[in-house]
Structure 1
Amino acid sequence: MSPEALKKHLQTLVPEHTFVADPEPLFTDQRRRYRSRNALALMPDSVENVQKIMRFCHEHRIPVTPQGGNTGLVGGSVAQGGVLLNLSRLNRVRRISLPDNAITVEAGCTLAQVQAAAQQIGRLFPLDLASAGSCQIGGNIACNAGGLNVLRYGTMRDLVLGLEVVLADGTLLSHLEPLHKNTTGYDIKHLFIGSEGTLGIITAAALKLFARPRQTATAWVGVRDIAQALDLLTSVRDAFAGRLLSCELLSRFALDLSARHSKIPQPLDAEWHLLLELDDSLPEPPLETALGEHLYAHGFADAVLAQSEAQRRDLWTLRENVSAAQRSLGVSIKHDIALPIERLADFVQNCGRRLAEALPAVQIVVFGHLGDGSLHYNTFLPDTLDNRAYQREDEINRLVYQQVLAHGGSIAAEHGIGRLKTAHLPSVRAPAEIALMRAIKAQLDPHGILNAGVLFA
């Protein structure tokens, strides 16, 4: 059914303001690799209207692609026909419960909006992503977002108490009470967390809140290699336990790029760099002093401790601007990977060697979350600065993913599978697992209308 014909049918079901007058900003993905085609863009402002749209599309076998902030990097929120269902107008904070340390929000709330709502009541919502101002909670849940604070607070899966979901046929599943314990059979909400919009439309969620930190200690540490970085991670974990919030890794090359882009001096000179942050909801004992003493006692004298909030922000800017700084190198083949932490050093060494043998001019930018074993491993071909670099993507992916799997890792840590990695899913999931995933999909979405082409080839 054409977008024009589809609109005529849906105009009898939902208000006129549901139809997006200028859908162009919604049609191209974050990396400009994928584009929605032959689709009708809708922005419902109520759960009831989402249900009406889904009932109609289910009955007439019309594909529906859910979209949040459109900040994904694997093409998971572009529509190839049918309906592009943007959730931005479902953006209310429905409820806050201080006794439950919980906030209930609609899927279109941005992460920054939820963080601000928590802050207003003296609480913390700990998910932290560079795209906080534009990414939305529904998308964060659908992709099981990780970010900078996984070490202490876990991924999005660990932060969800309850979900409200509209199924493919318009049925509403709503379990938004902030229950901290519930052992009544299968926990259905976990099916939708990380499902990339293939099982249902997330419309609201009850989320965990935490006490706000009353002190923070931030250190930038230079190390000679990743093995030494892992020694430091282990010792800091032993000494500070749950107060370790973040442990971020940057290569020399990644820091060089970010420092030039950010116009911030490099904190120190080293082959590899760690950004460590501790926090505590109690004011004593002083974390900054304890962290400094620990680094010195363990031989990590090549370190900078943030002495002010401004200096702390500069250190984090250097970390967070690596992604933006890479654009000066041209188009990259990005890899969002996870490995057992103890095998990170071997992977970086072996994979770098294999890539250099096959592509002598290759440039590799390595950075990411050392504390949870996930890396952004991005490759550049200096002689190919535009989209022609994607002609080598299969070759580069094959080399990188061979090494990821040889070291017991995963090809998707945070970004998901989307459309970009569907061909690689069988390399990390056994046939029986994929069959089970397809069976769940068939049960909840028997006509296959939800995010067709995402996750499964």
Structure 2
Amino acid sequence: MPADLNAFHTFLKPSEILSLSDVQLADQRRRFTAAPDMVLQPHSVESVQKIMRHCFEQKIPVTPQGGNTGLCGAAVAQGGVLLNLSRLNRIREVNLADNSITVEAGCILQHVQEAADRADRLFPLSLASEGSCQIGGNIACNAGGLNVLRYGSMRDLVLGLETVFPDGTLVSHLHPLHKNTTGYDLRHLFIGSEGTLGVITAATLKLFAKPQTTATAWVGVDSIDDAVSLLTDVQTHFAERLCSFELISRFALSLSSGFLQAQQPTDAEWHILLELTDSLPDSGLHDALAEFLFEHGRENCILAQSEQERQTLWALRENISAAQRDLGTSIKHDIAVPIGEVAGFVHHCAADLVQQFPDIKIVCFGHLGDGSLHYNTFLPNIVSNEVYAYEDAVNQTVYRQVLNHHGTIAAEHGIGMIKKHWLNAVRHPAELSLMRAVKAHLDPHNIMNPGKLLPDSE
């Protein structure tokens, strides 16, 4: 690879060529360590094009990388070029007429939120990693987060994309068109593609009116079925003002409250954190929520009386992941099932797992409003990455129950390396054939993030 390094020096700035010691090669969970031949950090879209042209001609693998916050190994390079996009981080335009913002792929999500806020608008994608994850990665794995119930996932928030194809061709559709029916919509190929089709360099994203009123409640419920009943009632009564509806198990809450040394808001088997927002000032929204909960017999609840109390409630939800680290390394599952199937999945899956691993600990929480769950399992007395020796056995049980309940094995985090062999179980052969055909057409040399997303051909 020295000859290729010399070639890159002819058309890249010295600062665009990094040494391996300049970047974090381990993934977010330190499960995988990248082993690229070189790390490139382009400062412009033109540099991305030049890199891709050379890699295409020389058949050099390219692994795009954003904030390196992924959990499935999608941004881990094994040889070739690790293409770090962190320097493509400009906010190009805020367009209030079209309620849109155009940003480069390396923009940190929090910075996009702040730019929208300065324009008196809201960019609603909200994730635990928003202080470090980047827009390109959010698009590449179709991120969801806390506000999917009202605003949708990343697929719903992208108006246009700028992408560099594997051969260096630039295709840019960044104008904020709200309607366009001129054939196949290519942006949806790249949203969720995990860097396997090309390099996302910029995107035009939807903005919304900032909430002027917020009402937040924590409700204890007896069961998940009870929680689903509450969800249905809240949606019927408050319609689109329901923004978040989070499910938290008793065990998950106990971990988080202990971690924060905070009092648990309610005593129940399951807990719901729900939030209503309104884009107009509505001084009666808080009282309307309180009255609704009382009339529906939801007395095991508290309502946030101030912004500080609201933040305290959300801290209990957002610190579950940090709190569970004391249990050791987990086998994580980022799954979704139809909302009406959540209770059945949780019951049957737990019973199956306990039968195989009697002392297993399950931390279950997530976005009940859209049916997606974080279902994390911990095996007793194994606190290190040695737990992954049991991963296939645990996954066989969890994913079998996911499929039995008409769900998906990946709701937010993507497929990467660790789930690709499961795609044959969740996608029809005709779908996989089409995916491979698209990949082969756009990337005939298979240089884009090889070994990720698509299962290996038999």
| TM-score in terms of structure 2 length | 0.98
Question: In structure 2, what is the Cα distance between the partners aligned to 1:335 and 1:22?
Answer: 31
Matching of residues 283-298 of structure 1 within 5 Å: 283-284=281-282, 286-298=284-296
In structure 2, the partner of 1:17 is 15
Where has structure 1 moved over 4 Å in runs of 4 or more? Answer: none
Matching of residues 138-177 of structure 1 within 5 Å: 138-177=136-175
Question: In structure 2, what is the Cα distance between the partners aligned to 1:164 and 1:387?
Answer: 38
Amino acid at match of 2:143: A
Q: For the Cα contact (< 8 Å) 2:20–2:38, is it kept in 1?
A: no
Structure 1: segments with no counterpart, 5+ residues: none
In structure 1, the partner of 2:118 is 120
Partner SS for 2:11: coil
1:222 aligns with 2:200: no
Partner SS for 1:12: helix
**More displaced stretch, 18-27 vs 385-394:** 18-27
1:231 aligns with 2:237: no
Question: In structure 2, what is the Cα distance between the partners aligned to 1:25 and 1:286?
Answer: 51
**Alpha-carbon distance change, 429 to 23 in structure 1, aligned in 2, over 3 angstroms:** farther
Instruction: Please report how far the alpha carbon of residue 66 of structure 1 lies from its aligned counterpart in structure 2 after TM superposition.
Output: 0.2
In structure 2, the partner of 1:88 is 86
Question: In structure 2, what is the Cα distance between the partners aligned to 1:420 and 1:48?
Answer: 33
Question: In structure 2, what is the Cα distance between the partners aligned to 1:270 and 1:279?
Answer: 26
Aligned match for 1:416, one of 404, 407, 414:
414
Amino acid at match of 2:48: V
Deviations, residues 111-153 of structure 1 (Å, cap 9, x unaligned): 0000000000100000000111100000000110000000000
Q: For the Cα contact (< 8 Å) 1:196–1:416, is it kept in 2?
A: yes
Deviations, residues 214-249 of structure 1 (Å, cap 9, x unaligned): 000000000011000000000000000100000000
Question: In structure 2, what is the Cα distance between the partners aligned to 1:354 and 1:328?
Answer: 24
Instruction: Please report how far the alpha carbon of residue 22 of structure 1 lies from its aligned counterpart in structure 2 after TM superposition.
Output: 5.1
Deviations, residues 281-326 of structure 1 (Å, cap 9, x unaligned): 1112621111111111111110010001111001111101101111
In structure 2, the partner of 1:322 is 320
Structure 2: segments with no counterpart, 5+ residues: none
In structure 2, the partner of 1:66 is 64
In structure 2, the partner of 1:98 is 96
Instruction: Please report how far the alpha carbon of residue 6 of structure 1 lies from its aligned counterpart in structure 2 after TM superposition.
Output: 2.8
Instruction: Please report how far the alpha carbon of residue 24 of structure 1 lies from its aligned counterpart in structure 2 after TM superposition.
Output: 5.4
Q: For the Cα contact (< 8 Å) 2:248–2:271, is it kept in 1?
A: yes
Matching of residues 235-314 of structure 1 within 5 Å: 235-284=233-282, 286-314=284-312
Amino acid at match of 1:69: G
Superposition CA RMSD, Å: 0.9
Q: For the Cα contact (< 8 Å) 1:249–1:368, is it kept in 2?
A: yes
| TM-score in terms of structure 1 length | 0.98
Question: In structure 2, what is the Cα distance between the partners aligned to 1:398 and 1:300?
Answer: 38
Aligned match for 1:431, one of 419, 425, 429:
429
Deviations, residues 357-392 of structure 1 (Å, cap 9, x unaligned): 011010000000000000000100121111111100
Q: For the Cα contact (< 8 Å) 1:215–1:282, is it kept in 2?
A: yes
The alignment of Structure 1 onto Structure 2 pairs a total of residues equal to 455
Question: In structure 2, what is the Cα distance between the partners aligned to 1:198 and 1:433?
Answer: 16
Question: In structure 2, what is the Cα distance between the partners aligned to 1:255 and 1:72?
Answer: 24
Amino acid at match of 1:210: F
Question: In structure 2, what is the Cα distance between the partners aligned to 1:263 and 1:139?
Answer: 34
Matching of residues 275-424 of structure 1 within 5 Å: 275-284=273-282, 286-424=284-422
Question: In structure 1, what is the Cα distance between the partners aligned to 2:312 and 2:21?
Answer: 37
Q: For the Cα contact (< 8 Å) 2:19–2:38, is it kept in 1?
A: no
Instruction: Please report how far the alpha carbon of residue 107 of structure 1 lies from its aligned counterpart in structure 2 after TM superposition.
Output: 0.4
Question: In structure 2, what is the Cα distance between the partners aligned to 1:272 and 1:109?
Answer: 37
Question: In structure 1, what is the Cα distance between the partners aligned to 2:291 and 2:197?
Answer: 50
Deviations, residues 137-178 of structure 1 (Å, cap 9, x unaligned): 000001100000000000001000000000000000000000
Q: For the Cα contact (< 8 Å) 2:213–2:283, is it kept in 1?
A: no
Instruction: Please report how far the alpha carbon of residue 93 of structure 1 lies from its aligned counterpart in structure 2 after TM superposition.
Output: 0.5
Q: For the Cα contact (< 8 Å) 2:336–2:409, is it kept in 1?
A: yes
Identity level (%): 63
